[in-house]
Amino acid sequence: MYPPVPANLPRISLPGRMMVGEHFVPKGTSIGVHHFSTYRREDNFKHANEFRPEWWLGDLEFKDDQLNSFEPFSVGPKNCLEKVG
């Protein structure tokens, strides 16, 4: 129900034209995603404020959930070492 860290895991934006949603992010900007608010958005998860293991078990009720928004241990080269890809 709660993320493993109390804050975001910041990254520095890359050179080039980077967009987050409709917003331009200049290169070298510190950016991050606040886990708690991401995991509690009804846009991402149906019944977002409940403990629902069915999200991960293929239950058709949750077929439209955005499971890719759940990255509690980061992504990319700084991802959790124990995560199997």
- In this predicted structure, the answer to whether residue 81 has a pLDDT above a threshold of 80 is no
Residue 63 and residue 56 in contact, taking contact as beta carbons nearer than 8 Å: no
pLDDT tens digits along 56-80: 899 999 999 998 888 776 666 666 6
pLDDT tens digits along 30-42: 888 788 888 889 9
CA atoms within 13 A on the CB side of 52: 17
pLDDT tens digits along 3-15: 766 777 788 888 8
- In this predicted structure, the answer to whether residue 19 has a pLDDT above a threshold of 80 is yes
Residue 40 and residue 15 in contact, taking contact as beta carbons nearer than 8 Å: no
Q: Looking at the whole model, is its pTM more than 0.85? A: no
- Please state the domain extents for the chain: 11-68
